[in-house]
Structure 1
Amino acid sequence: MTEKGTHPLTQVYPKFLERLEILNKTCQELPEKIDYKLVLDSSLYFIHFNDDFEVINCLVPKASSDTWTIQFAKMIGPNVPTSMDLVYNITLSNHFVPLREIAHRIQTYTKFFVHRHPFERLVSGYCNKFVDPPRYEYMNRYAKAIIISNYLKKYPHDRRSFEIEYTHLSDSEKQDILKQIDRLGSVQEKFGITFIEFLNYVINTVDESGIYNLDIHWMPVSSICNPCAVHYDIMIEHDYVSEESQLLVDYLQKNKATNAHLYFNKFEKKATRDKCNQYFSDIPLNVRRRLYEIFRNDFILFDYKYDLESKDYFCEENTNN
């Protein structure tokens, strides 16, 4: 709001201040050099603001973004649609907003985002887009790419070309590959994408194209919001999103003429954590290790501890709570 770590809510709720202190200390200790102008420019695409309530939100998918979208709509007015495209006044990346106005908002508005355990976001993103039930647009966009990334990068994607060029493979190898080629020709809602296929696709995308080519629903939070470059006032932990969001909403509504009834459903963190642990229980160590490297900044900046050798607990609580 003014200087780093001096927002009034950090005095009311000390955990906000504790998280900022850990973040600021860790940002200084990161070994890699950060081009702050570059990451700030990339963050502006995801940052939204509301002038009436003088608030800026870095919207993180799979971290209560839909819930916050609805709350913003209610805060703006009872007749405002809850569509995400209409909730916010404007995004900071809009070319018609003068740079001095962007700078003023960043310096003076309450800035916040919600962070979540990296592996929980991966499970949530996978289930939401490919399982519960599969989203046509995501199956249409990613299913073939995931299959090719997992099995067919070195091979033709049609049966005839493959059978002509790869006669040297064993019968079992050929059958495995032909099975994947047949999957490409299926109606895309008819076949499933497994969790390990999804994770391998995430890894391959980063290895080949970099983190910023990941879909935003499973891009690291630190790459979306860049908290080492943008000095946020409040960091909400997803495990406590109901209580902490309510604190922030109450603060934003203070002295504002609004009768909006804002309510955050209680988040069932145990059920979510159990689901995450279950999904990761069969994932090989080498895959988990590579994912940890990709999401390393999220683990470090948001103080999530992770034992790579653990065989039971993969999605443990933020140690600052």
Structure 2
Amino acid sequence: MARYSGFKQLLGYVVSMFLIALSFYQWDMSQRKLEERIHETQELRKQLLRETCAGDKETFKHRLEDVRDKELANLIVDDKHGIIYCYIPKVACTNWKRVMFSLTQDEPYPDPVSISSYLVHLPNTLPLLISFPRPEMKAKLKHYTKFLFVRDPFVRLISAYRNKFLQHNEEFYQRYGRHILRLYANQPDPPQSLDEANASGMRVSFQNFIQYLLDPLTERNVPFEPHWRQMQRLCLPCLIKYDFVGHQETLQQDSSQLLKILMLQDDIQFPPSYENMTTHAVLLDWFSAVPLEDRRKLYELYEEDFRMFGYKRPRELLDG
């Protein structure tokens, strides 16, 4: 009887070990399949960039000699790890700047979550490509691992509008809000401060914001502010051959894979994202007050971003 009991215990142990090994095998296989799928997605994203750039050599800049330094102002350099990151406002750029800042510190790297968002947006906090002589810039662009993260262009505009015109932002009210109210909201003498504007119930509407973007005079003297400048203009993907193209819509998955590619997955973690994803219904609601003709013009303004980065033309907004 004792021998039979011992056999049962041994059998139970063997079965338990088998089930544990099987679960680890299944987990490992699922991880491999996920990584293969991400790799295939990356190849498709980069192929789309190459094809779009090759198909329109007149529109997009392809040579460093044709670009002024200020057009490269969004490229952050990490010499220690051989990385160049092109940041795009409203596309997880605060958290990626936190990661880039952490990597400039001594090991063990500080948790990016602990890094102040205010600090990483200050000038001169992170080294920029334009701080180097042109020959060095060219060498770094050739040899470093280059990446960017993009987002649905219309959803990015909504995020920029909410951040700069619905939240309390005196700077943007003074630089843009009063001007927009004056020209597009029939307010010849807008309040002097944002607090006064809020007290009187006066606010830049999303439709006013779109009117401002569509006005040909807006870019007569200066380019679009980076929060609503086209992504392809900020990161020049026909000039810079990016090794990794992340999407906001798959942010955590893409970020995790990128850190593996950079061989940093054991050293640093990308912060969790809490921004609500804009649904199809929410997108329709935001544009409900924008005339159909203006929606179509807006698409034309950001069409290269849609095409280059694989975002579908929003037919429900543009086809009436």
TM-score, with length taken from structure 1: 0.74
- 1:70 corresponds to which letter in structure 2? R
2:121 counterpart of 1:93: no
In 2, Cα distance between equivalents of 1:249 and 1:265: 16
Partner of 1:278: 285
Q: Note if 1:194 corresponds to 2:205.
A: yes
Cα distance in structure 1, aligned partners of 2:37 and 2:80: 24
| 2:154 paired residue number | 119
Would the alpha carbon gap of residues 196 and 89 (structure 1) be closer, same or farther in structure 2, given more than 3 Å must change?
A: closer
What is the SS of the residue equivalent to 1:246?
helix
Cα separation, 1, equivalents of 2:49 and 2:89? 21
Contact 1:72 1:87 in 2 (8 A): no
Listed as ranges, the gaps of 5+ residues in structure 2 are 1-34
Q: Which residue of 2 aligns with 1:5?
A: none
Cα distance in 2 for partners of 1:231, 1:207 equals 32
SS at match of 2:85: strand
Q: Separation in 2 of the partners of 1:300 and 1:88?
A: 33
1:149 to 174, 183, 190: 183
Cα distance in 1 between the residues matched to 2:275 and 2:160: 17
1:25 to 39, 51, 71: 51
Local SS of the residue matching 2:242 = coil
Q: Which residue of 1 aligns with 2:87?
A: 59
Higher radius of gyration, 1 or 2:
2
For residues 16-55 of structure 1, the C-alpha deviation after alignment (integer angstroms, 9 at most, x for no partner) is 1110101111111127444433346443211111111211
With over 3 angstroms needed to count, the CA separation of the structure-2 counterparts of 1:104 and 1:185, relative to structure 1, is closer
Report which structure shows greater RCO (CA 8 Å, sep ≥6): 1
Gaps of 5+ in 1: 1-8, 152-176, 315-321
Q: CA RMSD in A?
A: 3.0
What displacement does 1:110 show? Answer: 0.6
Q: Distance in 1 between matches of 2:59 and 2:269?
A: 45
Give, as a single letter, the amino acid of the residue that structure 1 aligns with 2:210.
L
1:203 partnered with 2:203: no
Identity of aligned residues (%): 24
Within the candidate set 241, 264, 268, 2:272 is matched to: 264
CA drift at 1:294: 0.7
Q: How much does 1:100 deviate?
A: 1.9
Number of paired residues? Answer: 271
| Deviation readout 1:115-173 (Å, 9 max, x if unpaired) | 11110111000000111x2311111211111123315xxxxxxxxxxxxxxxxxxxxxx
Asked if the contact 1:115/1:238 (under 8 Å) is kept, the reply is yes
* TM-score between both structures, scaled by the size of structure 2: 0.75
Counterpart in 2 of 1:235? 245
**Does the Cα contact within 8 Å between 2:96 and 2:270 map onto a contact in 1?**
no
| 1:90-112 C-alpha deviation (Å, 9 max, x unpaired) | 11112xx2222111110111101
Q: Matched residues in 2 for 1:275 and 1:106: separation?
A: 39
Give per-residue Cα distances to partners, 1:196-217, cap 9 Å, x unaligned: 001101111x455259611100
- Kept after mapping to 1: 8 A contact 2:150/2:247: yes
- Displacement after TM superposition at 1:226 (Å): 1.1
The reply on whether 1:244 has 2:262 as its aligned counterpart is no
Question: Contact 1:245 / 1:264 at 8 angstroms: preserved in 2?
Answer: no
Distance 1:93 1:311, change over 3 A: closer
Report what 2:226 is aligned to: 216
CA distance in 2, matches of 1:276, 1:284: 14
Kindly tell me: are residues 44 and 31 of structure 1, through their superposed partners in 2, closer, same or farther at Cα, counting changes over 3 Å? Answer: closer
Equivalent residues of 2:61, 2:236 under 8 A apart:
no
Q: Residue 142 of structure 1: SS of its match in structure 2? A: helix
Mapped contact 1:51–1:89 kept (Cα < 8 A): no
Contact 2:89/2:227 (CA < 8 Å) preserved in 1? yes
Q: What displacement does 1:305 show?
A: 1.6
**Contact 1:150 1:200 (8 Å CA) reproduced:** yes
Partner of 2:10: none
Look up the equivalent residue of 2:211 and give its one-letter code: N
> Which residue does 2:309 correspond to in 1?
302
